[in-house]
Amino acid sequence: MSDSDASGRASVLAPLDARIADLVALYEDLHRHPELGFQETRTAAEAARRLTGFGYDVTTGIAGTGVAGVLRNGAGPVVLLRADMDALPVTENTGLEYASTVDGRMHACGHDVHVTCLLGAADLLAAGRERWSGTVVVLFQPAEEIGSGAQAMLDDGLYSKGRVPTPDVVLAQHVAPFGAGLIAYCPGACMAAADSLEITFHGTGGHGSRPETTVDPILMAASFVQRVQSVVSREVAPKDQAVVSVGSFHAGDTANVIPERAVVRLSVRSFDETVRTAVLAGIDRIARAEAAASGADRAPETEVLDSFPVTVNDASTLHEVNEQFVELFGAERVFAYGPASGSEDAGVLATAAGAPLYYWWLGGWDPEEFRTALAAGRLAQDIPSNHSPRFAPVARPTLTMGVQALTVAALNRLGA
């Protein structure tokens, strides 16, 4: 990086110190008021209000609650920065002073961090526009947790109706349960494809004292739950990765009645499309075979509840942005990390545009607590993961580094 580039970057980042207190207050407010997917009206309104004040052209109501801000600043590339807004149906157990005020809902995945950091970066880029040239698009996306928010925005004409210009690059980050002040990256496939399925097994109900007159869907489904684990252990090569987890099993209402049906819900994770296809085919084959083995007169029915593609980082973009991260944060704070079995839909925005994607992880946990747990070999036990009711990123330095990361990543592509 030239001295002039470094000076320009420093100039754009300089106002952050004066703005960080406001961003912390925003983060705490968003955390107190979590909203589920496609219900993020309060969050969206605050994003739109702030973007308007920063001077962006703002479009609201995309796919219901999505918000886009566009800042055109001369010739140059179009850079899209994305944050997801939705919370989870989780009851908070963090003990924070700014804990959720909504029963049964919580920002248990850090999307309040994402929204805050993107608004901070949008502010800095607008204030420092004399230092760059091009177009910045900031996108506040609904419903990431159910895997349909990004596609819903595209279906509502995000690019096709010109709500925002088609980006030349898509950039995003996700807060993670490692030490605040760190950034992790993964080349290539960085997050898994995910498919959530609901399989309904049909039997013939009857009195619990006369099972011979029934076709028991509970036994059928229970056999499936046991056998389906063989898809990974016996049909996926050791060099490949896949996960099949059954998370829900519902059947019957009372002890002495064999019900008519049993419903199983399961989650499938994979990093390769061929593996994904094989695993899903194996699950379907075993479900049908167990029904046939039980003598059911109806095949099981499978419904896809949600589906995420593999998230794939572009090698060149990752390398270029990481050079900026190392320059700003230091090499000791930027490290490689293996693919995560969690899933994301940010890549849908890049694929639809034919643009490269870089998606990185932002450390959010108290650094001292993280170091202590790491030294004791107790990360899994002592550091709550995303989606835990105890997930509580610290505001500082998480927000500071998150705003800086998004800003310098955008500046890397925007013309001087």
* pLDDT tens-digit series, residues 169-186: 999 999 999 999 999 999
Nearest to 179 by CA among 21, 394, 323: 394
Is residue 366 annotated as a catalytic residue, yes or no?
Answer: no
Nearest to 27 by CA among 125, 98, 88: 98
Q: What is the pLDDT of residue 3?
A: 63
Low-confidence stretches of the chain (pLDDT beneath 70): 1-4
Set 35, 40, 144, 344: catalytic member = 144
Set 35, 40, 84, 86: catalytic member = 86
Which of the 8 DSSP states describes residue 133?
B
Environment class of residue 382 by beta-carbon count within 10 Å: exposed (0-12), middle (13-18) or buried (19+)?
A: middle
Question: CA torsion, points 119, 120, 121, 126, in degrees to nearest 10?
Answer: 80
Q: What is the pLDDT of residue 1?
A: 61
Report the distance separating Cα 47 and Cα 26, nearest Å.
10
Q: What is the pLDDT of residue 415?
A: 80
Q: What is the pLDDT of residue 8?
A: 87
Structure tokens at 178: 């490692």
| All residues at 6 or more sequence positions from 416 whose CB lies less than 8 Å from its CB, including other chains | 4, 5, 8, 131, 132, 133
Is residue 144 annotated as a catalytic residue, yes or no?
Answer: yes
Q: What is the pLDDT of residue 6?
A: 82
Tell me the angle at which helices 111-127 and 41-54 cross, rounded to the nearest 10 degrees: 10
Predicted TM-score (pTM) of this structure: 0.91
